[in-house]
Amino acid sequence: MKTFEEYLESLYSMKKNIWIGDEVVGRDDPRIRGGINILRETYELAHDKKFEDLCTATSHLTGEKINRFCHIHQNKEDLFKKQRMTRVLCHRVSGCIQRCMGIDALNALSVITYECDQSLGTKYYENFKKFLKHFQENDLAGSCASTDVKGDRLKRPSQQENPDAYLRVVETRDDGIIVRGAKCCITNTPYVHEIIAVPCRMMMPDDHDYAVAFAIPADWEGVKLLVRPAYFHQPKNVPENMKSAALALGDCETFIIFDDVFIPNERIFLNGHADHKQTPYAGFLALMFAHYHRHSYSGCKAAMSEVLASAAALVAEYNGIHNTSHVRDKLSHILGTAELVFAAGESSALHSERAPSGTQVPDEILTNAGRKLAGERIYEEYKILADLAGGLMATLPYLDTFYNKEVGPLAMKYMQRNPRITPENVLKCFKGIECIGCSDIAGLLQVAGLHGGGSPQMETIAMMGRYPLEKLKDISKYLFGIKKNLKRFERQEDYPVTPRAMLEKFGKALIAKQKREQKG
């Protein structure tokens, strides 16, 4: 397993292909350091005995000890430990741990490539296993390029006026393929080793050029990373004990352009351009990645709620109002959401099933229910924090001002609130809340809380597209005297996990529906 120093060295050796504004920069640019500091936790804690049980696993390929962020879940305990690890690590970085994207994509690929090979006789699972071994042995970090720019939302990929609105294969050669297109809203790409590209939607036969999945190094020829970094104002002339952990953290969101990029055969996991029959698997891969990623959210969004509740409770104490009933009531809303979201993910792991590839697949309805709840409550949680903190979280001068020889002592004097709390600690509290509540990153985290891994509407679609609603109606039909008998109903018993079962049960109806839509 890599140390952080080895991870950093591997990043700094990569070619410059990061665009920030009109500059092309390398991985040593200070504006992306905040994100690197977040991934630092995932490398360092894997070597820490106190976190080893959560942050490491045993590879099912080699039997070697590996970082859990490189692991393919083999059982229910693996899923639960991944969820707990995500929650614990997110506490340490006040939000997204940013490394789950890669392993969520790999777990999805481990299920779908196997199913595709079994049904169609392809060799994608063999490609995947070789890549996974390389990924694990080198303790790599990955970014999942899922969301296409999409163009006209009312048209399918093959119907777009701009044929590159979705990532597509423009040429299949003996040694590989050429792809063209872009992916947007992608977290962490500037400071990972590999980009794992997957489709973002169901595909029809006419969309076969867009049914493509692969992995390439993040500095591969033709890959251009257009980056929006978010980081905190860095104070200069202040004591070291005033520089909080939150100030060192950051995020990068990336617009990835694939400018006629060559993908070698051994790194291809799906290519509908070569075989139209692979097209349905593109949609199932999109769904499976979203499924795993939303299960990760049941850990990180529970943690984010706890971070906000922690800050709200602390500022209430520093404001001297912590014993009031309205504060406890508001905190209970945040903490209740955190526990329910985590419980949904935990139950999803409990009710998970083993796919034919050997990969453990969480319960999709429970996963989406938890993620939907988190997305619907996120702005209410920030509202509670702002309510209890007051306007100072957005209006304080820079930290440096409080250590200016002329005005600093006066500024510090007027920070006094609760007489039992020093002005320095009050300042630390409000500056911390500024970081997590109304900074560049705070705004990003709020939108990510709603849309990351899919908006609540997407969770609704995922849940209701798979829920046995007709059997659910039988309960009322029996209670209301419309039916004389009620068959035993347990939703999990009527729920196919593997793509082949999904295709058999839902695929025909879905394709028929899509054809009707095409005809208008």
> With 0-12 CB in 10 A as exposed, 13-18 as middle and 19+ as buried, what is 137?
middle
Structure confidence by residue, pLDDT tens digits, 144-158: 999 999 999 999 999
pLDDT at 279 over 80: yes
Is 459 inside a domain boundary? no
Residue where a domain terminates, one of 290, 318, 342: 290
What residue type is assigned to position 205 of the chain?
Answer: P
DSSP string, 220-243: -TTEEEEEEEEE----SSS-GGGS
- On whether both 343 and 208 belong to a single domain, the answer is no
pLDDT at 233: 74
- On whether both 101 and 146 belong to a single domain, the answer is yes
When divided into structural domains, the chain yields a total of: 3
What residue type is assigned to position 229 of the chain?
Answer: P
CATH of the domain at 450: 1.20.140.10
What percent of the chain is modeled with pLDDT above 70? Answer: 94
Tokens coding 472? 């659910």
What residue type is assigned to position 389 of the chain?
Answer: A
pLDDT at 364 over 80: yes
pLDDT at 500: 59
Nearest to 190 by CA among 15, 69, 67, 42: 15
- On whether both 278 and 315 belong to a single domain, the answer is no
Of 342-351, 436-445, 457-466, the poorest mean pLDDT is in 457-466
Tokens coding 197? 């590209």
What is the mean predicted confidence (pLDDT) over 478-493? 85
* Contact predicate 413/203, CB 8 Å: no
* Contact predicate 160/180, CB 8 Å: no
How many CB atoms are located within 10 Å of the residue 102 CB? Answer: 24
Q: Pairing mode, if any, of strands 142-145 and 194-197?
A: parallel
- On whether both 209 and 329 belong to a single domain, the answer is no
How many CB atoms are located within 10 Å of the residue 493 CB? Answer: 9
166, 168, 170, 171 alpha-carbon torsion, rounded to 10°: 180
148 DSSP assignment: B
What residue type is assigned to position 262 of the chain?
Answer: F
- On whether both 45 and 161 belong to a single domain, the answer is yes
- On whether both 322 and 449 belong to a single domain, the answer is yes
Is 64 inside a domain boundary? yes
pLDDT at 130 over 70: yes
* Residue numbers of the domain that contains 491: 468-518
pLDDT at 202 over 80: yes
Phi, psi at 207, each rounded to 5°? -95, 20
pLDDT at 36: 96
What residue type is assigned to position 194 of the chain?
Answer: E
pLDDT at 250 over 70: yes
Structure confidence by residue, pLDDT tens digits, 52-99: 999 999 999 999 999 999 999 999 999 999 999 999 999 999 889 999
Which residues make beta-bridge pairs with 19? 24, 226
The chain-wide mean pLDDT, for the chain, equals 91
Query: Which residues have CB under 8 Å from 289's CB, separation 6+?
Result: 104, 105, 108, 144, 146, 198
Separation CA 115–CA 285 (nearest Å): 10
Is 136 inside a domain boundary? yes
pLDDT at 370 over 90: yes
- On whether both 268 and 322 belong to a single domain, the answer is no
What residue type is assigned to position 492 of the chain?
Answer: Q
Is 150 inside a domain boundary? yes
Is 460 inside a domain boundary? no
CATH of the domain at 257: 2.40.110.10
Q: What confidence category does residue 453 fall into, taking pLDDT thresholds of 50, 70 and 90? A: confident
- On whether both 282 and 298 belong to a single domain, the answer is no
pLDDT at 313: 96
Instruction: Provide the CB-side half-sphere exposure for 326 (13 A, CA).
Output: 6
- On whether both 123 and 193 belong to a single domain, the answer is yes
Is 474 inside a domain boundary? yes
Instruction: Provide the CB-side half-sphere exposure for 255 (13 A, CA).
Output: 9
Residue where a domain terminates, one of 423, 454, 485: 454
What is the mean predicted confidence (pLDDT) over 337-361? 94
Structure confidence by residue, pLDDT tens digits, 14-33: 999 999 999 999 999 999 99
- On whether both 431 and 479 belong to a single domain, the answer is no
Is 356 inside a domain boundary? no
Nearest to 181 by CA among 223, 235, 214: 223
Separation CA 158–CA 162 (nearest Å): 9
- On whether both 299 and 284 belong to a single domain, the answer is no
What is the mean predicted confidence (pLDDT) over 164-170? 97
pLDDT at 490: 76
Is 462 inside a domain boundary? no
The helix or strand, by DSSP H or E, that contains position 170, with its residue range, turns out to be strand 168-173
Residue where a domain terminates, one of 290, 311, 343: 290
Separation CA 297–CA 55 (nearest Å): 17
* Contact predicate 400/236, CB 8 Å: yes
Helix ranges (H only) for 231-324 are: 279-318
- On whether both 72 and 168 belong to a single domain, the answer is yes
